[in-house]
Structure 1
Amino acid sequence: MNRRTVLLAISAAVAHPLSSVVAHATENFDDPAARLVSVTAGGRTMTFSRNDLAALPQTRFETKAPWIATPAVFEGPSVAALLRAFAPEATFERAEIGALDDYMVAAEVPRLVADGAIFAIRQDGAFMPVAQKGPVLVIFPFDDRPELQDKSHFGLCIWQISQIRLS
């Protein structure tokens, strides 16, 4: 490694000390038992592994999207199922969903629930590796509900999810 590469790495770490690249540097994202997805609201945090998410009631549908050449079967807990597991008595209006690379989308929780969004952990029966949009992906039943096939819904399909902040 040359001096310039080392200096760039150090300056990136100093500039972004809390970035997910640094925070998750030692995690094995493809290990189903690794606790990778944190859900936070009102000072409370729970962290879920894919195994934890798989233990929740599952929703399964076949669909395609602009980034999927052929229809695939996606499976995972619905947004409502994950929220019940996190805080059974609470209601939430907004979710900020963040990815491993710090990309984030904001969504109205009632819209996610009404439109059938799931936190997909499996594609065609297998856990999704990070290299294929895992460990968790928000996706909608686009083929079952063609009215969802718009830029707004496609834009909510965030992958490599690592955090969910609720309010």
Structure 2
Amino acid sequence: MASLAASGQPAPPVAKPASAVDSKPAAKAPVLLTVSGALKAGPGKTVQLDLAQLSALPQQQLHTQTPWYPAPRTFSGPLLQDVLNLAGAQGQTLEARAINDYKVNIPVSDAARFKPVLALQIDGKPIALRDKGPLFIVYPYDSDPQLRSSVYYSRSIWQLKSLEVR
């Protein structure tokens, strides 16, 4: 079988992985989070992140009471703000979508103001799918009485799969 170059036909263009945005490395393992929308890389670009990429960001621990567990738990993972910075987010609102297609809008300003964590672990263990994992946006509910309300509880989306920046 002759190669395309030998046959005189031009070689087909080489496509970049969907996760390649500027100098962002492509996900090498299963994608846990896709960030799309208003990104510095431009329209139609996405950033896909795997566990290793999320774990490579500075990790924070947040010990807080939640309405979903009977006692305070320690949530660990990168700050939502760090994930947005990595992706080059440039919008005002995030449409966060879960694996079951539940979605909620989160103001981008929440990331800097309240410093929610994109939890990868609860009490030092990876979050199982059946226990709200593998990704769970958690606010520091004990740090501000304002956060102990249905507004912020509804923004605490678990089984997160994507963020669309608007």
Q: TM-score, normalised by structure 2?
A: 0.76
Q: Does residue 1:48 correspond to 2:49, yes or no?
A: yes
What do residues 89-123 of structure 1 show as CA deviations (whole Å, max 9, x unaligned)?
x5321100000001000111012321121111111
Letter of the structure 2 residue corresponding to residue 85 of structure 1: L
Q: Which runs of 4+ in 1 moved over 6 A?
A: none
Question: Paired residue for 1:8?
Answer: none
The higher radius of gyration belongs to 2
Question: Paired residue for 2:115?
Answer: 116
CA distance in 2, matches of 1:145, 1:66: 15
Q: Does residue 1:38 correspond to 2:39, yes or no?
A: no
Question: Paired residue for 2:143?
Answer: 144
- Paired residues in the alignment total 133
Question: Paired residue for 2:61?
Answer: 60
Letter of the structure 2 residue corresponding to residue 93 of structure 1: Q
Q: Does residue 1:154 correspond to 2:153, yes or no?
A: yes
Secondary structure of the residue aligned to 1:138 is strand
CA distance in 2, matches of 1:36, 1:86: 14
1:78 and 1:113 in contact (8 A); partners too: no
Question: Paired residue for 2:127?
Answer: 128
5+ unaligned residues in a row in structure 2: which ranges?
1-28, 38-42
More helix, by proportion: 1
1:50 and 1:135 in contact (8 A); partners too: no
CA offset at residue 147 of structure 1?
2.5
**RMSD value over aligned CA atoms?**
1.3
Q: Percent identity?
A: 29
CA distance in 2, matches of 1:94, 1:107: 6
5+ unaligned residues in a row in structure 1: which ranges?
1-32
